[in-house]
Structure 1
Amino acid sequence: MKIVILDGYALNPGDLDWHGFEALGHVELYDRTPEELIASRIEGAEIVITNKTPLNRDIIEGSNIKYIGVLATGYNVVDIQAASENGITVTNVPSYGTQTVAQHTISLLLEICQNVGLYDHAVKSGKWHESKDFCFFEKPIIELADKTMGIIGLGKIGQCVYRLAEAFGMKVIAYNRSIKEGFNCVSIDQVLSQSDVISLHCPLTEETNQLINEKSIEKMKDGVIILNTSRGGLINEADLYQYLKSNKIYAAAIDVLEVEPPRHHHPIMDLDNVIITPHIAWASKEARIRLMDTAVDNLNFYLNGQIKNQVN
């Protein structure tokens, strides 16, 4: 059984192993695969494992693939209709990173509010030594208690962020397409207009594409904080840039961009009131181990005539 892993580096940059897959067949492992090499690398393979390497109709129909395992929750890199038409099972890995993504979301918010990195750098550069007082101030520190957190999207990650925000004494409101029992669900306009902090946790769909734009930002409070650890396409980045410059938005912290990696220097990176991390909210070692274990489990089930986490 030939198993081809097209882009293993993001899941395993060297601190995990591939023994689980190797126990199930002959593994050909690539850290990353450019599009022009996909067809040749999967030639003769019945099992293909991918994270972000696209498998389109032409690739699928010209292959011997029987099973595609996606090393992620999102599976839009696979032409699902083409896979189904050709009798190919496609699986994903749901819910492996809930706690990790929620933790990263709150860490971004705390960095905006506490400026820990800024103060650490200032101290180490000698500013405390030079201070005439027992402390000094570089940037305002913000207390979260009694402020309103607005969450857009109440999946497992959104729910986890909701509970963490409550633990800080924040008032939490949320918008979700369907009402979730046990959560303070309101309209999208109420989230936009009432929140001091808005955190995005919804999928990227036609409905949510560029949800944060000039029109929606104008409905927000002056000085709002925006967090995005979901998908870059949820935000119109040109509009975000303009409103960060005008200070209508106090700060933004984002783990995702519309194009990843960015093809050139992004103007938003020049702003002092934005924090950007490179799509790593999901990537704790613990979460990656869970992802690996589930992906192996998915394939093992398939090989034994059962299906687990099938998406088509």
Structure 2
Amino acid sequence: MNIVFLDRATISPQTVLRKPDFAHHLQIHDRTSQDQLAERLAEADIVIVNKVKLGARSIAAAPRLRLIAVAATGTDNIDLVACARRGIAVSNIRNYAVHTVPEHTFALIFALRRSICAYRDAVRAGRWQEAGQFCFFDYPIRDLAGSTLGIIGDGALGQAVAAMGRALGMDVLFAAYKGRADMGPLYTPFEQVLERSDVLTLHCPLMPSTRNMIGAGEFRRMTRQPLLINTARGGLVDESAVGSALDAGQISGAAFDVVSVEPPPPDHPFTALLDRPNFLLTPHVAWASDEAVQGLADQLIDNIEAFAKGTPVNLVQAEQGS
């Protein structure tokens, strides 16, 4: 069985990728461009992919393809409808980042809520000496205890973030799906979460129904000037609207670990925000603790071995209506 890994460089080099326990030939590429796909997919029975886009045309160029093993949770780079039509299984990685992503989320929250980077930069610039006393008060510092944490996405990551928030004395709200008001008492209507949150954090997948789910209209509803945190997927937020929301004071700060185009081009709207003390951008590393990435690699091979044995696990289906 021919296995092709299209983008091994997206997994840290210290991560051990064990060999599947069946007869196979594994071909590993650090990176794969769209121009290289047809050749590399032509003889593949199983494809391992993290971020390379596999659209309908690429899938059609892979006549032997039986499984796409995604080395990530998100599958928005895969044409799931085209896979379903061809009978190609798609598996993903689940619940591997239940510590690393929540920890990174709160690292961003703490950094903004306590102006950590702003004070660090001020000290570096000599402001402490200029102040002439034991401290100075140039940037806001706010406690998290007693504030409200709004979470969009109630999966393993959202639940882990909620547990951390409660441990810090925060009131936690889980948002109902946008446009839904019938999800029961465990959920707060989406619009109310926007209005009541002091910190709003995203932990949902990118799908047609969630793309640009937060934009100018949603920012206008954020009356408590929350922090906005996105460690989920680029594209959940209208990125062109973030700067205006910061300028208008609709949000007090924003931190993103993900962008709709990665790496972002020089003219991306976030580029103009990088010098602001209330904006943080990290390079899609919330998931990337050594422990989490090794767990991902182990589960990736588990998924492939289960498929080869005829007992596939962690299968992903196309969203209805796609």
SS in 1 for 2:164: helix
CA distance in 1, matches of 2:289, 2:29: 21
SS in 2 for 1:164: helix
Which of residues 263, 266, 273 in structure 2 aligns to 1:264? Answer: 266
- Look up the match of 2:25: 26
Change (3 A) 1:117 1:21: farther
SS in 2 for 1:260: coil
2:196 touches 2:224 (CA, 8 Å); kept in 1?
no
2:212 touches 2:238 (CA, 8 Å); kept in 1?
yes
- Look up the match of 2:320: none
Alignment of 1:22-101 (within 5 A): 25-63=24-62, 64-101=64-101
Q: When the two structures are aligned, how many residues end up with a matched partner?
A: 309
Change (3 A) 1:195 1:10: same
Change (3 A) 1:266 1:87: closer
Deviations 1:257-291 (A, max 9, x none): 22222122334333312111112111111111111
Q: Is residue 310 of structure 2 the alignment partner of residue 305 of structure 1?
A: yes
CA distance in 2, matches of 1:205, 1:18: 29
Q: Is residue 238 of structure 2 the alignment partner of residue 236 of structure 1?
A: yes
CA distance in 2, matches of 1:79, 1:233: 17
**TM-score with structure 1 setting the length:** 0.90
Alpha-carbon distance, 1:299 to partner = 1.0
Alpha-carbon distance, 1:145 to partner = 1.1
SS in 2 for 1:308: coil
- Look up the match of 2:251: 249
SS in 1 for 2:26: strand
Q: Any stretches of 5+ residues in structure 2 without a counterpart?
A: 318-322
1:5 touches 1:27 (CA, 8 Å); kept in 2?
yes
Q: Any stretches of 5+ residues in structure 1 without a counterpart?
A: none
Which of residues 262, 274, 277 in structure 1 aligns to 2:279? Answer: 274
Change (3 A) 1:90 1:266: closer
Deviations 1:104-140 (A, max 9, x none): 1111100001233333344455444555222233412
Change (3 A) 1:249 1:296: same
Tell me which amino acid in the other structure corresponds to 1:305: G
- Look up the match of 2:294: 289
CA distance in 2, matches of 1:21, 1:29: 14
Taking CA–CA contacts closer than 8 Å with sequence separation of 6 or more, which of the two structures ends up with the larger relative contact order?
A: 2
Tell me which amino acid in the other structure corresponds to 1:256: V
CA distance in 1, matches of 2:231, 2:315: 25
- Look up the match of 2:223: 221
CA distance in 2, matches of 1:120, 1:56: 44
1:151 touches 1:198 (CA, 8 Å); kept in 2?
yes
1:229 touches 1:281 (CA, 8 Å); kept in 2?
yes
Alpha-carbon distance, 1:7 to partner = 0.6
**TM-score with structure 2 setting the length:** 0.88
- Look up the match of 1:188: 190
SS in 1 for 2:201: strand
- Look up the match of 1:176: 176
The percentage of counterpart residues that share the same residue type is 37
1:20 touches 1:293 (CA, 8 Å); kept in 2?
no
Change (3 A) 1:30 1:141: same
Tell me which amino acid in the other structure corresponds to 2:306: F
Change (3 A) 1:268 1:311: closer
1:154 touches 1:176 (CA, 8 Å); kept in 2?
no
Alpha-carbon distance, 1:244 to partner = 0.7
- Look up the match of 1:134: 134
